[in-house]
Structure 1
Amino acid sequence: MNKNDSIAAISGVFPVLPTPFDEHGKPDVDSLRRLVRYLVDAGVDGMTYPGVASEFNQLTIEERLALTDIVLDELDGHLPLVAGVSSTDIEKTVQLAQAAAERGASALMIAVPPDRNTADAQIEFFSAVARAVPDTPIVLQNVPAPVGAGLDPDVLVAILNAVPGIRYVKEETLPSGQRLTVVRRTAPHTLLGVLGGAGGRYITDELRRGACGTMPAIELAEVHVALFAAHRAGETERVRQLFTRMLPILNVQAVFRWSLTKYVLHRRGLIRCRLQRAAGPLLDNEDAADVDAFLHDIEDLLAPCR
C-alpha cells in the first residue's frame, strides 16, 4: 500500500479496539488478537488503536508500543490501522508517532491536549508532531475535557490551516453534527474528511452532514458495518432502522463506557476477562440484565464469534 492509498483509506467504519486485561491486570494479548480477527470478519474498513476506548491513559508507553505492534502483526497489512499516539507531552507523542509510522500505521490519531488553551499552543504541538512524521497523515481527535480540549470549529480550522499534515478530524465535541458542518465548510483543501466518534451515538446526523466515517466502540461492529453499507447505498430508511435498533445499547455505553464494552465482548466470547483499569461506573446485575435483553433484541444482526 503506498502513502496515497493509505490516506484515501481512512473512511468508513474504523472501530476503536479496547485493551483486554487478564485477571491480574496485565494486557491479554490472545484476547486482543481475537478482537482484531473479529473486526476483520465483521467487514470493517479499518481499525483504531489505542484510543480513549482502549484506556490509553492507563497504559504505559511500553505497553502502548508493544500492543500496537500486536495489532499491526495480527492485521498483517490486510486493513489500515489508525494508531492512537495521544499524550500531553510532545516528546512522548513524537516517540509514539514515529514508532507507529515506522511499523506501518496508516495514520496517527492525536487528541487535542487539554492543557493547551490557545490556537497557537495547539499549533505548536501539532506542528512538532507533523514535522517528526511528515509522510504519515494525522487525525486530530477533537475530544472534550477532561481527555481533550474540546476546541471550537474556528480554532480547529486555524490549526488545520497551519498544519497541513492533519488530514482528518475526528469530531467528538457536542453538538458534533453542527461542528462537523462548520469544519467541512471552512477547512482548507488539505483536510480530506471528518469522522464521527462518541460511540456512534450521533452517526445518522454525522453521515447526513458528510462525515467520511465513524470510529465507534467495538461491541456492535457488524451492525455499524451494515449501517455504513446502507448509507453508501443510499438506503436512508435502512440506516435509520439499524441505528434505532442499536440505540438502547449505545445509551448504556454512554454511561458505562469500558464496562459496557467489555461486558458485551465477554458475553460474546471475545475476551476472557472484563477487568478495566480506567475509573468509571461498573454494570451491576440489573444493568447487565438490561444489556442482555437489548442484545437479545438485535441477535439477528450479530454474527457468531469464533
Structure 2
Amino acid sequence: MDLLMLLTGILPVLPTPFADAGVDLDAMRRVVRFALAAGVDGVVFPGFASEVETLSVDERAALLDLVVAEVDGRVAIVAGASAPSVEEVVHYGRQALALGVTRLMVQPPKSIGAGAGAVASFLAAVAAELPGAEIILQNAPAPRGSDLSPEAVLEVVRQVAAVRYVKEETLPAGPAITAILADAPEHLLGVIGGGGARYILDEYDRGACAAMPALEIADLHVALDRDYRAGRRREARALYVKSLPLLVLQAVYRMRLTKHVLGLRGVLDNRAVRAPTPELDALAVRDIESCFAECGLQSLVSAPIAGGVGA
C-alpha cells in the first residue's frame, strides 16, 4: 500500500512565519524543510497553530502553494479548509484540490451548533462541491470549537461518507477516541489525536492512527512514534516524559512558544505572532528554554535533526 494512502504517525501543524509586512515565504520554506528533516509523516497547513484566522485569502493561498511545492510529494499533506460558510470552505477546498491535495481538515463552524444533523448537512454540502476530497472532521473543544459528543461525531460520519478521518481534540480526548473507534463505520479510516501531543500515548493506546502536534519538537515526536510502533514502549514513554514540561507551557503560550523554540533551533529569525497570545517575559523565556534543553534536542537546524533526540 502507498504510504501516502493512509494518514499515520506525526503530522505537525506548520506555523506561519511573519515578516515586518506580510508573511515570510523564505522562512516558510525553512519551516517545511525542518519538518521534512525531522522525519515527519505528513504536514498540516493551515490550522489553528498556523494562526489561520489572521491570514488573508491571498496569504493563505500563497503559503499553501509553497508548502505543496516544498513537500514535492515526499509526505502527506492535509490542507485546512475551515471557514464560517460552506461557500468559503469550498473555495479553500478547491484551491487545495487544484494543487493535488485531497485531504481537507474542516472544523464545523460554531454558528451551526453542535447537533449532528446540522453538522452533517454542512459537511454534506461541502462534500457535494468537492468530489474526490477526503474530509477530516476536526472536533475542537469549546470555546474554539463545537465540542461534539462522540455520538454526534459518529452520526455525522455515518451520514457523510466523505468524512474519512476524525481529529478528536475535545477533553478528555481518550474516551471519545475509544467510543468513536468502537462503533465506526467502515469508511472511517482513523481517528487522529490533537491536544498538542500532550496526551499522545493515551491516544495511541486507544487506537489513534496519528497525532497533530505543533512543530517545534517534531523530531522528538517522530522518535516517540517510531519507538511506540516498534513496541519499545519504555523508550516511547521516556521521550513523552521529556516532552511534557515544554508542552505544558506550549498550551499557555501557544504560537509564541513554538516560534521561540524554532528560533533557538535556527529555523526562524522573526518570531512575530499575529494571534492574541500571552507575551513572553524574561522568566517565561527562561522556563521555556530550560524545558527545551531538557528535551535533549539539537539547538540548530544545521545540526542533525532526525535521530537528534538525546539519551
Q: Which interval holds the TM-score relative to the shorter structure?
A: over 0.9
One-letter code aligned to 2:38: A
Q: Give the deviation of 1:5 after TM superposition.
A: 4.3
- Residue in 2 aligned with 1:108? 104
Distance 1:286 1:32 in 2: 29
The C-alpha deviation readout for 1:218-256, integer Å capped at 9, x for no partner, is 000000000000111011111110000000100000111
Distance 1:271 1:197 in 2: 24
SS of residue paired to 1:286: helix
Out of 189, 193, 202, which is 1:192 matched to? Answer: 189
CA contact (8 A) 2:14 2:49 kept: yes
Distance 2:121 2:200 in 1: 31
The C-alpha deviation readout for 1:244-292, integer Å capped at 9, x for no partner, is 0000100000111011111111121111211111112121110100111
The C-alpha deviation readout for 1:123-177, integer Å capped at 9, x for no partner, is 1110011112221211111011233211000000010000010100010001101
CA contact (8 A) 2:193 2:212 kept: yes
Distance 1:70 1:213 in 2: 24
CA contact (8 A) 2:266 2:300 kept: no
One-letter code aligned to 1:22: A
CA contact (8 A) 2:81 2:106 kept: yes
| Runs of at least 4 residues off by over 6 Å | none
State how 1:49-128 maps to structure 2 within 5 Å.
Answer: 49-117=45-113, 118-128=115-125
One-letter code aligned to 1:181: T
Q: TM-score, length-normalised on structure 2? A: 0.94
- Residue in 2 aligned with 1:32? 28
Distance 1:7 1:121 in 2: 31
Distance 1:235 1:289 in 2: 33
Q: Give the deviation of 1:72 after TM superposition.
A: 0.4
Distance 1:146 1:105 in 2: 29
Q: Give the deviation of 1:8 after TM superposition.
A: 2.7
- Residue in 1 aligned with 2:280? 283
- The structure-2 alpha-carbon separation of the partners of 1:265 and 1:37, relative to structure 1 and needing over 3 Å to count, comes to same
Distance 1:131 1:87 in 2: 16
SS of residue paired to 2:138: strand
- Residue in 1 aligned with 2:40? 44
- Greater shift, 13-22 or 145-154, is seen at 145-154
Does residue 251 of the first structure (1) align with residue 248 of the second (2)?
A: yes
CA contact (8 A) 1:113 1:148 kept: yes
Q: Give the deviation of 1:200 after TM superposition.
A: 0.6
SS of residue paired to 2:112: coil
Q: TM-score, length-normalised on structure 1? A: 0.95
- Residue in 1 aligned with 2:236? 239
- The structure-2 alpha-carbon separation of the partners of 1:65 and 1:170, relative to structure 1 and needing over 3 Å to count, comes to same
Distance 2:28 2:277 in 1: 21
The alignment of Structure 1 onto Structure 2 pairs a total of residues equal to 301
Q: Give the deviation of 1:187 after TM superposition.
A: 1.6
One-letter code aligned to 1:21: F
Out of 226, 230, 239, which is 1:229 matched to? Answer: 226
Q: Give the deviation of 1:23 after TM superposition.
A: 2.6
User: Which residues of structure 1 form unaligned runs of 5+?
Assistant: none
Out of 126, 131, 154, which is 1:129 matched to? Answer: 126
CA contact (8 A) 1:196 1:211 kept: yes
Distance 1:7 1:160 in 2: 22
Q: Give the deviation of 1:112 after TM superposition.
A: 2.2
Q: Give the deviation of 1:295 after TM superposition.
A: 1.7
- Residue in 1 aligned with 2:271? 274
Distance 1:144 1:23 in 2: 32
Does residue 12 of the first structure (1) align with residue 47 of the second (2)?
A: no
SS of residue paired to 2:166: strand
Distance 1:269 1:106 in 2: 32
- The structure-2 alpha-carbon separation of the partners of 1:210 and 1:116, relative to structure 1 and needing over 3 Å to count, comes to same
- Residue in 1 aligned with 2:289? 292
Distance 2:109 2:136 in 1: 13
Distance 2:198 2:189 in 1: 23
